Amino acid sequence: MSTPPEFSNWQEAWEWYASQTAADLATQSVDGLLRLIQTRQYDPYYQIWYTLSEKATLAQCAPTLLNVLRRESGDHLMLVRYHCAAVLFHLLGYPDDPIPPLRARAQWDQNGEEARQTAVAELAALIETHLRQRPAA
């Protein structure tokens, strides 16, 4: 990581550190990124998710990311779930805006954890169907 410059506000600092983190993560293999995610080594700028969505296929990352959605509960991990679900839906071909209803139910726990886990199971079935219909190249 480069020596940090002087920042005039928090946004400049966030963007600089995020870009440095993204550059570091870009040097990792997909397997390396998945290992970081499996061991909960999420970066504070959420760049690991963007990097993974650019490098990985759905088949490569779905098992790990579904496990993240299954295990990470509570408000303090809400943004981890948000970014994790975003990768899966991006690789499924869905736009980010508007957020698909299934993605919202799988990432947010507004209707309780049991309902969120049900949505994650629906997402897993959707991914399985998608992968069966479109085998990895």
**pLDDT score, position 5:** 81
Per the domain annotation, does 5 fall within a domain? no
Beta-carbon contacts of residue 29 (< 8 Å; ≥ 6 apart): none
Burial track 78-113 (b if 16+ CB lie within 10 A, e otherwise): eebbbbbbbbbbbbbeeeeeebbebbebbbbbeeee
23 within domain boundaries: yes
Domain-located, residue 16: yes
- What domain range includes position 118? 10-133
Residue 4 domain-assigned (yes or no): no
Quick: pLDDT tens for 38-92: 999 999 999 999 999 999 999 999 999 999 999 999 999 999 999 999 999 999 9
Q: Do residues 6 and 16 make contact, with C-beta atoms less than 8 angstroms apart?
A: no
pLDDT tens profile 79-135 = 999 999 999 999 999 998 899 999 999 999 999 999 999 999 999 999 999 999 986
- Please check whether residue 82 lies inside any domain of the structure: yes
Tokens of 35: 């290992």
**97 is a domain residue:** yes
Domain count, the chain: 1
Asked, for residue 3, whether it belongs to a domain, the answer is no
Q: Give residues with Cβ within 8 angstroms of 50, minimum separation 6.
A: 22, 83
The amino acid occupying position 136 is: A
- Residue partners of 60: CB distance under 8 A and separation at least 6: 30, 34
Indicate whether 120 belongs to any domain.
yes
